[in-house]
Amino acid sequence: MKRISTSNCGYIFTRALSAFLITIGVLIALIGLAWSPGSNVLAQGTAVEVIASYNNDTSAPLSSMPQASPQLNSAPIVRPVPNDHTDSIDPVVQDTFSSLLGVTAPTIPTASLNFDGVSAAQSFCNCEPPDPNGAVGKTQYVQIANTAYEVFDKATGNSILGPNGISSVWHGFGGVCEANGSGDPIVLYDHLADRWIISQFAGTTIPTDECVAVSTSSDATGTYYRYGFHLGSNFVDYPKLGVWPDAYYMSVNIFDSLGSSFLGPKPYAFDRSSMLVGAPATVISTGRLASTEYSLLPADLDGSALPPAGSPNSFLEFPGQSTPKYKIYHFHVDFTTPANSTFTNFASPLAAGFNALCASSCVPQANTSTLLDALGDRLMFRLAYRNFGDHESLLANYSVKHNAVAGVRWVELRNVTSGPVTVFQESTYQPDTTWRWMGSAAMDKRGNLVIGYSASSGSISPQIRYAGRLAVDPLNTLAQGEAHLIDGSGSQTPGTRWGDYSAMSVDPVDDTTFWYTNEYYATKSDFNWRTRIGSFKFPGIISALSRKVHGSAGTFDLDLPLTGTRGVECRSGGSSGNYQIILTSANNLTAVGNVSVSCGSVSSSSIGPNPNQYTVNLTGENSCDGQYLTISLTGVTDSSGAVFNASQTFGLLIGDTTANGVVNSSDIAQTQSQSGQTVTASTFREDVTVSGTINSSDIALVQSESGTGLPTPP
């Protein structure tokens, strides 16, 4: 939460163990149904809670809302979460050579857009910290902070709407959502439905309610379905949300009604289906975990590939145990039969040892003795999930200490829904004597990774930086080095509150452009923070396809994924074995030094048909049937000045209409089922002869290839 400039609130570090009790508010349904016994079902959660929204409606367009009034209600600061961590040697600090090279000769791209967001003067609350975060949609970027929001044109960075107070989103809604919003806001973009989610908590004396608004369209300035949920009488702190196909999931830290004793973390699931249509909705919780557990985050889905069908949302717990672990919980929610909802500990792979960083003031700044808060007691927002097809990735980060300064610990967990869960890579980024903390991490569709964070020391004022790695870089390294989004020219004093979080998100349209926002100071002062927003992407090939003309039916493109399961071209290349592969770059191309293919030959190649595309025409590929082909480009130069090499591998297996790497009865049956049909976007794979009609010739060709298959993918 936020610190108000006129408030004398302070930290209270005491811990108490107490019985769990929730007081029910208006229209709240509490269903006392015991969980079915199971070895991993948490004993703490003996009942499933079903809480109905006490009010829901449809707002006027945000573009027509009046300016909000300043928030005058006092709000306590973030409560530290106690843990049992035991400091130990950090064995995963990034190697010295990679670290020094990344600082002295970084290759990470600089920001293409770099502009100011909401400032303290525009925040409607005269408070700190700003809790800056943001999300990117089809055409807009929305930033939110304590306690204001602003909508930007993502193509130019120009402001479209705002800043306006978050309370204006609930104008006319009534109750604490309109009158007593307390901050800790989150904005997300549900790219599965093209909707925006805006949330903050609220309460008259302490935060007890969660206010959630879901846009009715992809336009963030339009109307919203609005909801208010009363979560009980205890102090609800640090709510963090994630988008999942079956629900909007949320984690909170629960304190007693005085805000003095940590009672445990608690998971929630909001009824996404109802909220997308503006119907009355419920939020389900499986109960609070024990006070001996630590802060949680829910997975937030990135990318167009969905999790495996029916997969639960994965929650990750901060590794605060004496022997640190990455405890993965599975939240299976059932809105039809709430008693079937469960929250279970699915896996607990060990975390590498580390030295804990402070929760409160310890980060130095230039020209002041004031030390900033680090929040080293929790995972940092977001917990980014992505399904690459051949593996799942869950990306987390938190702040640790090494060599007496703060560093960003990041970890990629794999296969978190299906198992076995593994720590694929894990590292601490601390390349020099600068303190780095308050991170946020994400991956693009190619598996490239970026982490944004705050950076400060006794010789510099707080800065906003980011570091990253390509998917092909050595594991456990941010080998592309570090870039500066903005170097603050002032330090914050005497206030210590910083963060409490930042946000790295990925553009859902190209799935390669990163957007980051965090806070900084322009002058030495207090309650005078500013925020910055930047976007950038790694150069390189971002997509590939195989293009063929199917007679009078037209041209159809077969996607060749860059990561995950390899694409399979199943269509005939004719008597000459001709194929056309089109590679799309992140930026416009200016030159390509050389192009080659591992089997067959390149008959011609050129930039086009668009400036950011490169077309490679292959011939003589009939002899390559049943093989994986790799097209290699060297000396590629793009409009940003970057020079890189690129390659794309795909399978060639004529007749493999099901794209499973083998031609068999399933392919024959699938082709027969479409016989006599004109080719469409959903059936072109069965037109293996590319005639424009699926007929006996296609069936015969598939039958002749039956029994052939591809080798193990490279």
C-alpha radius of gyration, the chain, whole number: 27
DSSP string, 407-460: EEEEEEEE-TTTS--EEEEEEEE--SSSEEEEEEEEE-TTS-EEEEEEEEETTE
The residue assigned the tokens 């640090």 is 238
pLDDT tens digits, 116-167: 999 999 998 888 999 999 999 999 999 999 999 999 999 999 999 999 999 9
Distance separating alpha carbons of residues 518 and 408, to the nearest angstrom: 15
The CATH class given to the 541-705 domain equals mainly beta
Q: According to DSSP H, which parts of 219-370 are helical?
A: 272-275
Instruction: Judge whether 48 and 41 are in contact, CB under 8 Å.
Output: no
Q: Which residue has the tokens 């557990």?
A: 293
Q: What is the DSSP letter of 171?
A: T
Q: Which residues pair with 557 in a beta bridge?
A: 547
Is residue 634 a contact partner of residue 645, using CB atoms and an 8 Å limit?
Answer: yes
Q: 272-313, pLDDT tens digit by residue?
A: 999 999 999 999 999 999 999 999 999 999 999 999 999 999
Tokens of 520: 């900084």
Alpha-carbon separation of residue 622 from 3, 368, 550, 604 (angstroms): 69, 71, 18, 17
CA dihedral 516, 520, 522, 525 (to 10 degrees): 160
Measured distance CA(290)–CA(428) in Å, rounded: 29
Alpha-carbon span 280 to 57, nearest angstrom: 9
What's the CA gap between 389 and 559, in Å, rounded?
14
Whose tokens are 């900084």? That residue is: 520
Of residues 615, 618, 614, 616, the one with CA closest to residue 638:
614
Helix (H) / strand (E) element for 247: namely strand 247-255
Instruction: Output b/e per residue, 566-586; b: 16+ Cβ within 10 A.
Output: bbbbbbbbeeebbbbbbbbbb
Distance CA 595, CA 616 (A): 8
Q: Are 297 and 81 in contact (CB under 8 A)?
A: no
What whole-number distance in Å separates Cα of residue 179 and Cα of residue 171?
9
Cα gap 491→363, rounded to integer Å: 11
> Which residues lie closer than 8 Å to 402 by C-beta, 6 or more apart?
90, 93, 354, 355, 428, 430
User: Strand, helix or coil at 167?
Assistant: helix
CA 376/CA 589 separation, integer angstroms: 43
Q: Which residues of the chain have pLDDT under 50?
A: 6-45, 73-76
Which segments within 333-403 are labelled E, that is strand?
A: 342-347, 355-356, 361-365, 368-373, 383-387, 392-402
Give the whole-angstrom CA distance, residue 149 versus residue 68: 11
Strand partners, 581: 546, 616
Enter the tokens of residue 525. 């002062």
Q: How many CA atoms lie within 13 A of 69 on its CB side?
A: 6
327 vs 316: CA distance, rounded Å: 6
Residue ranges per domain, the chain? 3-536, 541-705
* Exposure on the CB side of residue 416, measured as CA atoms within 13 A: 37
Q: What pLDDT score does 31 carry?
A: 32
Provide CB contacts within 8 A for 587, sequence distance 6+. Answer: 539, 612, 638, 639, 640, 642
The whole-number pLDDT of residue 19 equals: 33
Q: Which residues of 266-297 are buried (b: 16+ CB within 10 A; e: fewer)?
A: bbbbbbbebbbebeebbbbbbbbbebebbbbb
What would the pLDDT profile of 70-119 be if each residue is shown by its tens digit?
765 443 465 788 888 999 999 999 987 777 777 777 889 999 999 999 99
Q: List, in sequence order, the alpha helices (H) in 45-132.
A: 96-104
Contacts of 560 (CB under 8 A, 6+ apart): 544, 545, 546, 566, 567, 569, 581, 648, 650
Q: Of 178, 291, 155, whose CA–CA distance to 226 is shortest?
A: 178
Residue 551, phi then psi, degrees to nearest 5: 55, -140
Q: Measure the N-to-C terminal CA separation of the chain; round to a whole number of Å.
A: 49
CATH architecture of 3-536: 7 Propeller (2.130)
Nearest-angstrom CA–CA distance, 430 and 440: 15
Distance CA(76)–CA(205), nearest Å, equals 9
